[in-house]
Amino acid sequence: MSEPPRVAAIDGLTHRYGGLVALDRVSLEIPAGQLVGLIGPDGVGKSSLLGILAGARKIQSGDVRVLDGDMRLQRHRSAVCSRVAYMPQGLGRNLYPDLSVRENIEFLRASSTRDERSATPASPSCCAAPASRSSRIGSRSSSPAACGRSSASAAR
């Protein structure tokens, strides 16, 4: 019997900020085709985990596979960039508040594609997108999220 498809598999992931342990030997599988939520109080590592899954944060310890590839490999991070949207908190202030989350994503995706075709480097090489705490796809928010690119690139 074959394994069920998964979007991500994390094994023994640890991430620290100085002496603060944000993620401590986390192991998790995220199945394909499912709606998955990551819920918890501030400071428990949700944003760190999502940043690592998106390739925007460096893997310090453990294994992370996203879309069937090792996120330690620049080649894989670049290959999956167009398929991963990362929306960190706080950066949504720079987006268009009159657009829905989906509209911001579509606008920035189109802008990114145009920049890549013209060979004008508009941003670093990893997908990352800003978001507000209340944003979700298809909703309206005063600080919507979008799929853009972040300076927190996979090069870190």
Beta strands in 18-144 (DSSP E): 20-31, 61-66, 69-70, 127-128
Structure confidence at residue 73 as a pLDDT band (50, 70, 90): very high
Chain centre to alpha carbon of residue 86: 3
Q: In this predicted structure, what is the pLDDT of residue 113?
A: 60
Query: What structural domains and CATH numbers belong to the chain?
Result: 1-82 (3.40.50.300), 85-156 (no CATH)
pLDDT in tens, 30-68: 999 998 888 988 889 998 999 999 998 999 999 999 999
